[in-house]
Amino acid sequence: MKFSPLALNNACLVTLPKEMVITQTPTLRAAITHQIETGSNKLVLDLHQVEFIDSSGLSVLVSALKLTQKKAGEIILLSPSSGVRALIELTRLHHVFAIYEDRTAAIEHICEQ
Amino acid sequence: MLDSLFKFQTENLNILIVEDTQSERCFIAKLLQSMGLHVSSCSSAEQAILEYERQEVDIVISDWRMPGITGPELCEHLKSLPFPPYIILLTSNNLAEHMIQGIESGADDFISKPFVPSVLKVRILAAARIVKLQRKLTHKNSELNTALANEHEYLEQIQSDMKSAVKLQSSHLPSSSHLINQWHLATRFNPAQELAGDIFQCIEIDKTHIGFYLLDVTGHGIAASMQSFTLAQQLSCSSCDWESLNPALIINKLNQDFEDPENNGRFATLILGIVNSLTGEVKLTVAGHPQPILLDDTGARLMELDSGLPLGIDKQFSYRYSKFTLKSHQHLMLYSDGLYESQHPKFGEFGITRLVKRCDQAHSLSPESLLHHLSHSIDLWQQKKPQDDISMMLLSAPSLFKQSRTLDSAPVKELYFSHVATEDQTFKNEADINEVLPIQQPLSKAPITSASDCISRRIYE
């Protein structure tokens, strides 16, 4: 997992790893929660590397969404693979997440004041 | 300065002198006593071995050459005991070879005679440091062992608690059984860990209606199973309004009460339905859960019902239900994601398409055999290493349907789905319809599958 700062102070690009399954989720959740708690309330979660995700992996995305909403922030999901997108759509979570395919557009959107 | 340090370091040390020559023995004993040490002495190694068993000794100072057992032999013996002393060998022979043999036999230090008293004194000081360190380590070790034993006991307690929780959990799940009016239920439950996040149930609401649900809380283990237990509790006959015969209403309430105190993003997917056992009419709400599979004489197909958000995502979300009819010889299968998400190291995910195909191929099996067949297929796919909880529930309509008169006059020929928004007038006129089943507002720009898409179709691979 990688955190890259963006042009806007409170915005951040989070590149998620290949696997987001039950064994990794506590670590991922803690890292993202820390990032939000320390001031980044606007996140682009880059999913292009994610190959395996299960429902506990999705719960990391949901906890990030709820936390940023509480802090008047925003979450964007970027480039999920077709498998990941299928799971997001099956669980209907595409109704609550903004999903972008274009990296530049996602970063531009999140950096809008 | 050195004196006070020496006194402090050598406090409570017991020294045993082993020396066959009486004059030597007395000289060393007097010398050590003058340094303020506790000293006892023996005239032979044999006596020293007995003495060592009788009293507590920290340091042994032994002569090399003695009649009977020699100094190095005494070293070997004492060092083979579970709690050996610190040993200093004395010899009049200053050969390097001697020293090597002495230390090899287990001596910790070596002093050649004649020696200067102050040399003996600092050697004792060095010995005291090591003895004290050893004592400290022994103490720490026993503390660690005690702690470990406590942890072990605690773990055993947890494991036994888990075992009873597992028993409790499976005892709450319905087993295959006959329901009212010749309906039939078949179930299968394979937990991945000891405690599962899956739970399912079937309830006879009254003489006509059967309620059923299958839910899956994210993750597994204690927290997930506690949450699924809580949901099951809220869905029990006494605390849930099954008599409303309205799945959407029941799920709205369940969703509003869903708690995630640690903000772990925990959510639950769920299918909940109510079937009229006389007419076969099913009202079903899907909350982010995989679609049910419909089986009949001709095969199996994945349904495409309207699906809402999982529980715990949005408290304000209004769920809706779909309506369709189960005819004679038709079966409705509900399952958790563990069934199709299981991974094969080479071929990847089992997948919904493959699941439906397997059901299609095996549609003529009896409900129990079908679930057994699927369970076995998945078991082979994940190479007998359970990855996630697997729950399956198959609800079967009676083979000979005694349908009610109203339906006899207008028999249901096709499986149909309808949202209440497009439901017939009589239904719309019910006063609370808008409160219970409002038309859903899209929450994001993402497209929503339109109702017209909701036509059941066979899946071919």
Spell out which chain B residues touch chain A, with contact meaning CB-CB distance below 8 angstroms: 216, 218-220, 260, 263-267, 269, 287-290, 307-310, 312-314, 337, 341, 343, 349, 388, 442-446, 448
Q: What CATH number does residue A9 fall under? A: 3.30.750.24
B114 prior amide bond cis, ω within 30 = yes
Our count of domains for chain A comes to 1
| CA B366 to the chain's CA centroid | 34
Q: What is the pLDDT of residue B406?
A: 42
Q: What is the DSSP letter of A58?
A: H
Q: What is the pLDDT of residue B430?
A: 35
Range of the domain at A27: 2-111
- For the beta carbon of residue B279, count every other beta carbon within 10 angstroms: 18
Superfamily of domain B173-453, CATH level 4: PPM-type phosphatase domain (3.60.40.10)
Instruction: Among A36, A76, A81, A91, pick the best mutation site for testing chain B contact (most B Cβ within 10 A).
Output: A91
- Cβ of A66 within 8 Å of Cβ of B265? The answer is yes
ipTM of this complex prediction, to 2 decimal places: 0.87
Q: What is the pLDDT of residue B187?
A: 94
Q: What is the pLDDT of residue B210?
A: 95
Chain A hits for B307, Cβ within 8 Å: 92
Q: What is the pLDDT of residue B2?
A: 64
Q: What is the pLDDT of residue B451?
A: 37
- Cβ of A62 within 8 Å of Cβ of B307? The answer is no
- For the beta carbon of residue B344, count every other beta carbon within 10 angstroms: 12
Chain B hits for A22, Cβ within 8 Å: 219-220
Q: What is the pLDDT of residue B77?
A: 94
Measured at the alpha carbon of residue B258, what is the angle toward residues B444 and B250, in degrees to the nearest 5? Answer: 85
Sign of the dihedral through C-alpha B21, B24, B28, B31: positive
> How many Å apart are CA B284 and CA B323, to the nearest integer?
6
Q: What is the pLDDT of residue B196?
A: 78
pTM for the whole structure: 0.69
What distances in angstroms separate CA B270 from CA A55, A90, B124, B218, B228, one per listed residue?
Answer: 13, 12, 76, 11, 11
Residues B2-139, CATH architecture: 3-Layer(aba) Sandwich (3.40)
Please determine, for residue A74, whether its predicted confidence score (pLDDT) is greater than 80: yes
Q: What is the pLDDT of residue B456?
A: 36
Please determine, for residue A57, whether its predicted confidence score (pLDDT) is greater than 80: yes
- Cβ of A59 within 8 Å of Cβ of B267? The answer is yes
Instruction: Among A95, A97, A101, pick the best mutation site for testing chain B contact (most B Cβ within 10 A).
Output: A95
> How many Å apart are CA B288 and CA A88, to the nearest integer?
9
Q: pLDDT digit string (tens) for B36-91?
A: 899 999 999 999 999 999 999 999 999 999 999 999 999 999 999 988 999 999 98
SS (H, E, C) chain B: CHHHHHHHHHCCCEEEEECCCHHHHHHHHHHHHHCCCEEEEECCHHHHHHHHHHCCCCEEEEECCCCCCCHHHHHHHHHCCCCCCEEEEEECCCCHHHHHHHHHCCCCEEEECCCCHHHHHHHHHHHHHHHHHHHHHHHHHHHHHHHHHHHHHHHHHHHHHHHHHHHHHHHHCCCCEECHHHCEEEEEEECCCCCCCEEEEEEECCCCEEEEEEEEECCCCHHHHHHHHHHHHHCCCCCCCHHHCCHHHHHHHHHHCCCCCCCCCCCEEEEEEEEECCCCEEEEEEECCCCCEEEECCEEEECCCCEECCECCCCCCCCCCEEEECCCCCEEEEECHHHCCCEECCCEECCHHHHHHHHHHCCCCCHHHHHHHHHHHHHHHCCCCCCCCEEEEEEECCCCCCCCHHHHHCCCCCCCCCCHHHCCHHHHCCCCHHHHCCCCCCCCCCCCCCHHHCCCCCCCC
Please determine, for residue A43, whether its predicted confidence score (pLDDT) is greater than 80: yes
pLDDT under 70 in chain B at which residues?
1-2, 193-194, 401-461
Q: What is the pLDDT of residue B92?
A: 81
Q: What is the pLDDT of residue B1?
A: 56
> How many Å apart are CA B15 and CA B32, to the nearest integer?
9
Torsion of CA B426, B432, B436, B437, to 10 degrees: 40
Q: pLDDT digit string (tens) for B400-441?
A: 765 544 443 333 333 333 334 333 333 333 333 333 333 343
Domain boundaries, chain B: 2-139, 173-453
Q: Taking a C-beta distance cutoff of 8 angstroms, is the pair B105, B72 a contact?
A: yes
- Cβ of A95 within 8 Å of Cβ of B444? The answer is yes
- Cβ of B269 within 8 Å of Cβ of A91? The answer is yes
Chain A hits for B287, Cβ within 8 Å: 92
Please determine, for residue A90, whether its predicted confidence score (pLDDT) is greater than 50: yes
Q: What is the pLDDT of residue B458?
A: 34
> How many Å apart are CA B248 and CA B311, to the nearest integer?
12
